[in-house]
Amino acid sequence: MSHPFEWLSLTSTELKEKLKELGEAPFRADQLLKWFCFGASPDEMTNIPKSLREKLSDREIGLLFYPQIVRKQQSSLDGTVKYLFEMYDGQLIESVVMKYEHGNTICVSTQAGCRMGCKFCASTLGGKVRDLSAGEILGQIISAQRDFGERISGVVMMGIGEPLDNYDNVMRFLSIVGSKDSLNIGYRHISLSTCGLVDKIEKLANENFPITLSISLHACCDEDRSRIMPVNNAWNIDKLLTACRKYFDKTGRRISFEYTLISGENDSVEQAKKLAQLIKKYFGSRPVHINLIPLNHVDERQFSAGSREDVKLFCDTLNSLHVNATVRRRLGPDIDASCGQLRHKASSNNDK
Ligand code: SAH
């Protein structure tokens, strides 16, 4: 599906061009970008002439849209806020704002739904409906920041969707979000998480965005990985880890691996040892970090999380073999803050 023309998807150079085309002064671009970052409607843009404000509201010209909050849940334990946003065409997606000591980080969605089919994940249950545009990814940060009332200084692309399956829009989003005229979020505070689309990882290595690449590995051998992640049939672990090593050698950016621990599937001590061997085989002494994530229960899936002790044992085994691993702190446990479930429930019940 092609997207309508959206103001929020433009880079500052493109916005200047667009203004010229509409017979407006290009210097208005800087003013407009400030208003866009604030999530302002045309009526609120007090220093913009009425003629231009009218053009911004004119659907024949284009769409100025910020994701609308349909539901909001706030954790009383750690301040995490989860938003269910509605897009211009009624699609629902989720974003989560997390408070860390070093600042607020948002987890954004990159697609409405997902077609990767990971067996433990809620986001893929209804398949992929459509890609999100660059402006819709940026818009999640803008709408959340406006509601949250504090600056958001970090982004993780770990919400609904596979970012590398929406490559061009995600690259466009990256070039806008880090630009000084826009939200000016530092690339070192941005992570992109992928289930392992190897051809796109190779492409990403040449883009020169100093972001953190996170790989959803979740298994220590092809047999285990193919069982839970269909993408492994297209690019197996050898292809994936070879691409990751090349990515590191090209960019110098430490790769981060995500490993969701699923009871009886991938969480034995034996599997931890195999994982350590695997990482050493491909990375040698290069720096790597493994993020262990205890599985979040998904009603429609039969998988469950192991005990706290199992998780600790898996982590300790990796560390004892000199592979750097930590267990991800679970934020917003009282609001079910992991992504995918709200969209799925709201879409299937049609209860907004
Ligand atoms: N498509 C991308 C990003 C979205 S998911 C990717 O696959 O990386 C973000 C992370 O959450 C991924 O590592 C994903 O595998 C993991 N995840 C999905 N469902 C989960 C669940 N039920 N419990 C724990 N982690 C889950």
pLDDT computed for residue 66 by the predictor:
98
User: Could you give the 3-state DSSP secondary structure of residue 261?
Assistant: strand
- Phi then psi for residue 164, to 5 deg, are -80, -10
Cβ atoms of residues 179 and 36 within 8 Å? no
pLDDT computed for residue 3 by the predictor:
74
- Phi then psi for residue 79, to 5 deg, are 80, 0
| 239 secondary structure, DSSP code | H
From the CB of 118, is ligand 1 less than 6 Å away? yes
pLDDT computed for residue 343 by the predictor:
74
Which residue, by CA, sits nearest to atom 18 of ligand 1?
Answer: 121
From the CB of 265, is ligand 1 less than 6 Å away? no
Count other Cβ atoms within 10 Å, centred on residue 180.
Answer: 8
Question: Ligand 1 centroid vs 331 CA: distance in angstroms?
Answer: 15
From the CB of 298, is ligand 1 less than 6 Å away? yes
| 254 secondary structure, DSSP code | P
Query: Who contacts 337 (Cβ-Cβ below 8 Å, separation ≥6)?
Result: 73, 75, 80, 82, 96, 98, 331
Q: 181-203 burial string, b = 16+ CB within 10 Å, else e? A: bbbebebebbbbbbbbbbebbee
Which residue, by CA, sits nearest to atom 21 of ligand 1?
Answer: 296
Q: Which atom of ligand 1 is nearest to the CA of 296?
A: 23
Q: Please choose from 105, 114, 118 the residue to mutate so as to test ligand 1's pocket, defined by most ligand atoms within 8 A of CB.
A: 118
Question: Ligand 1 centroid vs 158 CA: distance in angstroms?
Answer: 7
Beta-bridged to residue 227, according to DSSP, are none
Taking only the tens place, the pLDDT of each residue in 67-121 is 999 999 999 988 899 999 999 999 999 999 999 989 999 999 999 999 999 999 9
Nearest Cα to Cα of residue 228 among 258, 269, 188, 273: 258
- Phi then psi for residue 98, to 5 deg, are -115, 135
From the CB of 191, is ligand 1 less than 6 Å away? no
As a whole number of angstroms, the distance between CA 218 and CA 305 comes to: 13
Q: Please choose from 191, 260, 296, 328 the residue to mutate so as to test ligand 1's pocket, defined by most ligand atoms within 8 A of CB.
A: 260
Active site (catalytic) residues = 94, 339
Q: Please choose from 94, 106, 115, 158 the residue to mutate so as to test ligand 1's pocket, defined by most ligand atoms within 8 A of CB.
A: 158
From the CB of 216, is ligand 1 less than 6 Å away? yes
pLDDT computed for residue 352 by the predictor:
36
Nearest Cα to Cα of residue 304 among 149, 120, 56: 120
Which residue, by CA, sits nearest to atom 19 of ligand 1?
Answer: 121
From the CB of 108, is ligand 1 less than 6 Å away? no
- Counted residue by residue, the chain has a size of 352
Residues of the chain with pLDDT under 50: 350-352
As a whole number of angstroms, the distance between CA 187 and CA 204 comes to: 14
Q: Which atom of ligand 1 is nearest to the CA of 193?
A: 8
Runs of H (alpha helix) within 58-196: 134-148, 167-177
As a whole number of angstroms, the distance between CA 282 and CA 231 comes to: 20
As a whole number of angstroms, the distance between CA 244 and CA 237 comes to: 10
User: Could you give the 3-state DSSP secondary structure of residue 347?
Assistant: helix
